[in-house]
Amino acid sequence: MGGNAATMLWLFFTLVMAAVAGVVPADCAFTGFSHTAVITVATVLIISHARLKKPVLRVSLQPT
């Protein structure tokens, strides 16, 4: 996941720099992140990653 984190950090940095340079209006640069769909997808990704990494969750979520 190191590569993904570096990519996300780079994209975030690029968005900040675009807002600072005036390419993207600063008041609109991060409004998309507050949309419920973005929050839902991020939550699902976090939960699925935790489920894959933690054996306790993997065992407890298997059907009996």
Give the SS3 label for residue 41: helix
Q: Is the pLDDT of residue 21 over 90?
A: yes
Q: Is the pLDDT of residue 63 over 70?
A: no
At 57 the pLDDT is 54
Q: What is the pLDDT of residues 29-46, one digit of tens each?
A: 888 888 899 889 888 888
- Confidence tier at 50 by pLDDT (50, 70, 90): confident
Q: In terms of residue numbers, what domain contains 52?
A: 2-60
How many domains in the chain?
A: 1
Q: What percent of the chain shows pLDDT beyond 90?
A: 19
Give the SS3 label for residue 59: helix
Q: In angstroms, how far is CA 54 from the centroid of its own chain?
A: 19
Q: How far apart are CA 23 and CA 57, in angstroms?
A: 44
Short-list 6, 24, 7, CA closest to 16: 24
List helix spans (H) across 1-64.
2-21, 36-53, 55-60
Query: Quick one: tokens of 15?
Result: 């968005």
